[in-house]
Amino acid sequence: MSVASQWQLMWWRFRRHRVAMAGTAVVVAFYAVVVLADFLAYASPTASEAQRSLLPPQAIHWLADGRFRPHVYALQGARDPVSLKRVYRPDPTRKIPVTLFGRGFSYRLLGLIPTDRHLFAVDAVRAEDTLFLLGTDEQGRDLWSRLVYATQTSLTIGLCGVAMSLVLGVLLGGISGFYGGAVDTVIQRIIEIFRSIPTIPLWMGLAAALPNDWSVLRVYFAITVIISLIGWTELARVVRGRFLSLREEEFVMAAELAGCSRTRIILSHLVPSFLSHIIAATTLAIPAMVISETSLSFLGLGLRPPAISWGVLLQQAQNVQALAISPWLLIPAVPVIVVIIACNFMGDGLRDAADPY
């Protein structure tokens, strides 16, 4: 008689939830972007040029003379003296061919393999001067490339924060739930104190107290770690709750009677039974991290320029002139929305699969 393991059961239940599968596919795709950032970008994200400032997204024309030859038109730009806006005009006589998997700036794929292949590339000229799939920002920097690198930063850093919260939450929640009594009460009070502290003052204080000579990314990393110290409370409560109820289950008593050590009980019996919940909760924590990052950049407390993240890009679009004149600067909101929705679907599916009853 063959018995499906718990994980297999979970997977079968999960597979049936179509929306969750779609969400998972999207999340995987985003993390592929994280890994392949250099491949997907075609321009340096910091190359500024005033004459390219605030270019709208450029259309790729797919056919030339009836054949499949993707190309873009060269652009001329000037500042209109009456409206004082920058105005661009494409020149249809100058076609610049766009190649897929063409050659661009060199980098190391996965940090190891030196290459210069990119998803999009232009021949014989610099991509910074000619290709603008999502337009440019105020300083003339290509938005597509910046968005790719922003995705890399935002998703990586958020994940680290979540991981730290996870460790702390499971540890403290487990101890609290398993031992009960005074230990439990003390930890519960600590949780309550942590939950009452508004995060914004904490961030401000910490952001200011960190040394001046740390790089921007290092500062944010430090702050994310510290914030995860507050975020663990939610996870700890869930873990504690589960431990409290599982403690009374028969299989634990059986294990105790069989003579298993405390540690063994916790690690090989209790943990697997709520691991699925933890995974689900973690997946649902990623959107919270993403929203925190964008909100804190908005308030000026998170990542700041010259770092590139979703929060930084959105913060630079958070003004009237972006809405009125250069709305493509708001495009970075799209991956934010998509990732959050996808993570939620994926987390929902995981949660349903782990405990449908």
Of 324-353, which residues contact other proteins (CB under 8 A)?
A: 324-325, 330, 333, 336-338, 340-341, 344, 348
Residue among 80, 113, 182, 258 that touches other proteins (CB under 8 A): 80
Of 222-261, which residues contact other proteins (CB under 8 A)?
A: none
Q: Which stretch binds other proteins (CB under 8 A): 6-14, 34-42, 88-96, 156-164?
A: 88-96
Residue among 99, 115, 156, 295 that touches other proteins (CB under 8 A): 295
Edge-to-edge strand ranges of the sheet holding 67-79: 61-64, 67-79, 86-109, 113-122
Of 5-24, which residues contact other proteins (CB under 8 A)?
A: 19
Of 93-112, which residues contact other proteins (CB under 8 A)?
A: 94, 96
114 three-state secondary structure: strand
Residue among 238, 281, 314, 350 that touches other proteins (CB under 8 A): 314
117 three-state secondary structure: strand
Task: From residue 270, give the alpha-carbon distance in Å to each of 172, 239, 260, 273.
Answer: 15, 11, 12, 6
Of 140-159, which residues contact other proteins (CB under 8 A)?
A: 140
Distance of CA 213 to the CA centre of its chain: 26
245 or 268: CB nearest other proteins = 245
272 or 306: CB nearest other proteins = 306
Residue among 82, 112, 182, 257 that touches other proteins (CB under 8 A): 82
Residue among 78, 110, 254, 267 that touches other proteins (CB under 8 A): 78
36 or 288: CB nearest other proteins = 288
Residue among 34, 51, 117, 229 that touches other proteins (CB under 8 A): 51
Beta-sheet strands, E only, within the chain: 61-64, 67-79, 86-109, 113-122
What is d(CA 254, CA 177) in angstroms, rounded to the nearest whole number? 19
Distance of CA 352 to the CA centre of its chain: 23
